[in-house]
Every structure is written in structure tokens, then in C-alpha cells.
Amino acid sequence: MGESYKSANDETAGTPARQRELRAQGRETMSRLLEAGLCVFAERGYHASRVDDVVREARTSHGTFYLYFTNKEDLLRALAVDCAQELAKLADTIGPITSDAAGRAELRSFLGRFLETYRRYGPVIRAWMEDQVGEREIDRLGVKAFTAIGDRLGRRMREAGSALAVSDEAAVGALMAMLERFSYAVASRRVVIDDETVLDTLSTIVHRGFFNARF
């Protein structure tokens, strides 16, 4: 990833205050800052992260940071744009999740990709879920991205004939909640279990709980 400086013109996120055109060196610096943001936010969480930490991680200076981002939130926004894009792609790849073994495989595959995405964009997703963002616009990106995935999963549930859940909305909400928080636990090593086990267990549970699995 890390191509937000390409989409900068469209989104006005992660755009240097004055300059638009970035040369090689500029792109390199910005990329380093984005990466550092991801890294520092992951360690401390967005709120507790200091611009100072980011700058040190990116081996650049305070002044330089504000050459590329108007403030700390702007860095988050840039990352959020990338993350939302990634999640949108992810939503598109969710194939039919049938009640049989094939459905379970599809589900497992999706869960794996979600976990992977969380591994990279976890801090952004956390900021969304933990309500750390003070700005509508960024929040909206998250809501939109999660809604896209949730809607798709909801549709797949209905296709699977999983009518037992009283409320689709509640079911989808519960599923997304579990996905997000458990991914956090796994990605942050709060829960230490190898990925295979995690995915096996999770797909089984979700398949049975939400997708009417038969076996």
C-alpha cells in the first residue's frame, strides 16, 4: 500500500499544505511517515501517540511532519483512506458462504484476509471502533467500510438461509464486533494462538452461529 500520496489530489488527505507535486525524495519521506504512523499507532494507540514518536520512528524532523500533514489527525486520515480502500476491496471478495464445507472454506478464506488486513491497519480500525477520532469525515470512512463488509456478510447469511437470527442488523453487528476485537487480540498478541488454530476455530464458530452450518 502506502499510495495515499497518489490519491492525494482526490481526497485532499495527506496532502502537503502548499505543494502538490512530490518528487522522489518527497514521496519517500511521506511514505516513511505513513509507515511510522502505522507503527507507532499500533504500539500506543492513536490517542496516546505523540507526533514526536512518529517523527523519531520515521527518522525525520518535527518540521518535516507538518510539511506533509496539516496535523496529527491528518496523518490518521491518510491512513484511514488507504485502510478503507483495502477493506472495500475485501468486501468485494466475499463469495457465497453456503452451509456446507465449501461455504466454510470461503468463510475461512475471508477471515484470513481480514486478519491480514488488521495486521497492517489495526491501529486505524481501532481508532474507528474505539471512537478516538474527533472528526466526522474520518469516522464516515470507517462506517462506510465496515458497513460494506457487514452488508455483504448479511447478504451471505440470508443466502445461506440463516433465518434463525431474529435481527439481521443485530447479527451483523455482533459478527463485526467479534471480528474486530478478536483480530485485535490476536494481532496485538494479547491472545497468543497460532493463526491456523484461530482461523479454524473462528470459521467453525461463525459458520455454525451465523451461517446455518450443517455437518
Partner DNA sequence: TATGAATGAGTGTTCATTCAT
Partner DNA sequence: TATGAATGAACACTCATTCAT
- 14 in Cβ contact with 77 (< 8 Å): yes
Q: What x/- string results for residues 169 through 208 when contact with a copy of itself is judged by CB under 8 A?
A: xxx-xxx-xx-xxx-xxx-x-xx-x---xx-xxx-xxx-x
Nearer to DNA, 39 or 185 (CB): 39
Nearer to DNA, 16 or 209 (CB): 16
Nearer to a copy of itself, 5 or 184 (CB): 184
The three cell numbers locating residue 80: 484511514
Sort 126 into a burial class: Cβ within 10 Å, 0-12 / 13-18 / 19+. Answer: buried
The three cell numbers locating residue 147: 458497513
Task: Give me Rg for the CA atoms of the chain.
Answer: 19
Element (H, E) at 143: helix 136-159
Binding a copy of itself (rule: CB under 8 A), the pick from 48, 144, 158, 214 is 48
Side-chain-side CA neighbours of residue 12 (13 Å): 4
Nearer to a copy of itself, 34 or 157 (CB): 157
Question: For residue 112, which amino acid is it?
Answer: G
Closest contact distance (angstroms) between CB of 2 and a copy of itself is 25
Total of residues contacting a copy of itself (CB under 8 A)? 44
Which are the contacts of 178, defined by CB distance < 8 A and separation ≥ 6?
A: 206
> For binding to DNA (CB under 7 A), which residues are involved?
16, 19-23, 25-29, 49-52, 60-67, 70-73
Pick what 185 binds: a copy of itself, DNA, none; C-beta below 5 to 8 Å, kind-dependent. a copy of itself
Q: Is 12 helix (H, G, I), strand (E, B) or coil?
A: coil
- Of residues 58 through 97, those in contact with a copy of itself by CB under 8 A are none
Closest contact distance (angstroms) between CB of 7 and a copy of itself is 25
User: Cα separation of 178 and 201, whole Å?
Assistant: 13
Pick what 93 binds: a copy of itself, DNA, none; C-beta below 5 to 8 Å, kind-dependent. none
Instruction: Report how many helices (DSSP H) and strands (DSSP E) the chain contains, helices first.
Output: 9, 0
Binding site for a copy of itself (CB under 8 A): 18, 45, 47-48, 56, 126, 129-132, 164-167, 169-171, 173-175, 177-178, 180-182, 184-186, 188, 190-191, 193, 197-198, 200-202, 204-206, 208-210, 215
